[in-house]
Amino acid sequence: MNLNSLWAFIVGLTKTKLVQNAAIYTGAEVLNKAIPFVLLPVMTRYLTPADYGVVATFTAFVSILGVFVGLGAHGAVTVNFFRLHSNEISKYIANVLLILLISGGVVLFLLFVLQDLIVTKLSITSAWIFMGLLLAAGQFITSINLILWQMEERATAYAVYQIAQTALNVIVTLILVAGFRLGWFGRLAGIATATVLFAVMSLGFIFWRGYVKFEVNGSYIRDALNFSVPLIPHDLSGWLRTGVDRFLLASILGMSATGLYAVGYQVGFVIGVVAAAVNLAWRAFLFNKLIHIGETGKIKLVKAIYGYCAVILFLSVTLGVVSPWLVKVFLGKNFKSASGFVLWIALGYAFDGMYYMVVNQVFFMKKTKWLAPITFSSGILHVILSYTLIKLNGPIGAAQATALSFLISLIMVWILSARVYPLPWLFWRQEQAVAGT
């Protein structure tokens, strides 16, 4: 591909609905997932390191509950939206909500049994333990609503909803933390208020738009569980890679190191926010196109993936280079050393963004059972790497472990993706062969 044709390809791509939707999704996703980053200048002035510990522990607790509350069945809605008639997808969603209800009841029982242990180990009060369950269920319901807008390619509705939820979260947090000086409680109250209110609204939207028709269907339940249950190790792996490092740092090096790492992590996570936003638009486009795609389309797909990989790696390195100035200006000299974590975290999430580009083909082919051993083993590997590198290199070892574990996961899943849905990853050999004839 010469420069003129490459430029024509890029210009043509920017005019497609994919890129237009990606821009909208990116704006909404940045505002939603970058809340901790946006609030850092305020939080670092009103929260103590101990407060940061409580907030980090609770959010990690909600994340692990989210793995089991609903069992990730909302993801099955994505891959079945184009396969089922509108009347059938409504029944499918009703059965997904039934899975949420049953799994939530089981988790509630376990929390009652284990609450004393959780309070002792995590220093979370009983009230917030059960609030965590409510928030996990609320996130599940909102995810279904957003998935439906995403599949309908209604990017504006998606964005407005995300922005409104973000605004409420920020406003309540600022009032309670900066105004009433409620510390960690104010931050968690902001999260809880926005999550619960918008979950109720999401449920209302789902019913109002006719996406729920109650009819217990064993085949739909089995289909959703066959998709989601094999992904539980995958989700656990994700939690291990984003939660365990904080616990290890706190136990080995103390809360000060943990707080600095958490701040540096939030800055580097900007790359993760961008990657997740692009994937939202890309996934809907990809699933629709993969149903009917020829060899020419596959080559264009591979070129787009390679181009994306180059861009996100460039962005991560750039963020790492400017991070010392960024941290100094926005967070002050007390958090200056947090910049040392940024490059490693940014690279890790660049690898994670590249992972999205290859794992979606595995989802499309419904070969999710093969992801379980790969992703769970990479999560375990992350724990081992984190402990070893923290011991060897201090707190920077946690960031290095994040980058390495994401890279290893990317390599393994790319190999899997190439096997279940072959693409011309060495397309230039075909083009050279054609040019030589």
pLDDT band, residue 34 (cuts 50/70/90): low
Q: What whole-number distance in Å separates Cα of residue 193 and Cα of residue 122?
A: 22
Q: 225 and 207, same structural domain?
A: no
Give every CB contact of residue 118 below 8 A, 6+ residues apart in sequence.
61, 111, 124, 129
Asked whether residue 420 is assigned to any structural domain, the reply reads yes
Q: Please check whether residue 331 is in contact with residue 338, taking contact to mean a CB–CB distance below 8 angstroms.
A: yes
C-alpha angle 387-390-391 in degrees, rounded to nearest 5: 85
Asked whether residue 41 is assigned to any structural domain, the reply reads no
Q: 95 and 18, same structural domain?
A: no
Asked whether residue 160 is assigned to any structural domain, the reply reads yes
% pLDDT > 90, the chain = 48
pLDDT of residue 1: 47
- pLDDT, average across residues 368-378: 81
Q: Which of 181, 216, 251 is the last residue of a domain?
A: 216
Q: What whole-number distance in Å separates Cα of residue 4 and Cα of residue 131?
A: 57
Per mean pLDDT, which of 91-95, 147-151, 276-280 is the most reliable? 91-95
Asked whether residue 56 is assigned to any structural domain, the reply reads yes
Asked whether residue 39 is assigned to any structural domain, the reply reads no
Q: Which of 167, 195, 216 is the last residue of a domain?
A: 216
Q: 355 and 408, same structural domain?
A: yes
Domain limits for position 336: 1-33+218-431
Q: 423 and 367, same structural domain?
A: yes
User: Residue 422 class from Cβ within 10 Å (0-12 exposed, 13-18 middle, 19+ buried)?
Assistant: exposed
pTM (2 d.p.): 0.75
Q: 320 and 229, same structural domain?
A: yes
pLDDT band, residue 138 (cuts 50/70/90): very high
Q: 77 and 9, same structural domain?
A: no
Asked whether residue 14 is assigned to any structural domain, the reply reads yes
pLDDT band, residue 9 (cuts 50/70/90): very low
Tokens of 290: 């993969």
Q: 274 and 232, same structural domain?
A: yes
Concatenated DSSP letters of 91-139: HHHHHHHHHHHHHHHHHHHHHHHHHHHHHHHH---HHHHHHHHHHHHHH
Q: 142 and 23, same structural domain?
A: no
Q: 235 and 152, same structural domain?
A: no
pLDDT band, residue 94 (cuts 50/70/90): very high
Asked whether residue 437 is assigned to any structural domain, the reply reads no
Q: 194 and 268, same structural domain?
A: no
Asked whether residue 38 is assigned to any structural domain, the reply reads no
Tokens of 79: 């891959």
Q: Which of 216, 244, 278 is the last residue of a domain?
A: 216
Q: 262 and 132, same structural domain?
A: no
Q: What whole-number distance in Å separates Cα of residue 361 and Cα of residue 417?
A: 6
- pLDDT, average across residues 2-22: 56
User: Where are the alpha helices (H) located in 209-365, listed in sequence order?
Assistant: 218-228, 232-252, 255-268, 270-290, 295-331, 342-364
- pLDDT, average across residues 390-394: 94
Smallest Cα–Cα separation from 395: which of 239, 269, 263, 270?
A: 263
Q: 6 and 57, same structural domain?
A: no
Where b means 16+ CB within 10 Å and e means fewer, 202-214 reads bbebbeeeebbee
- The amino acid at residue 291 is I
Of 16-30, 128-142, 318-332, least confident by mean pLDDT is 16-30
The CB-based long-range contact list for 199-205 (8 Å cut-off, 24+ gap) reads 199/137, 199/138, 199/139, 199/141, 199/142, 200/138, 202/141, 202/142, 202/144, 202/145, 202/146, 203/141, 203/145, 205/145
Structural domain total, the chain = 2
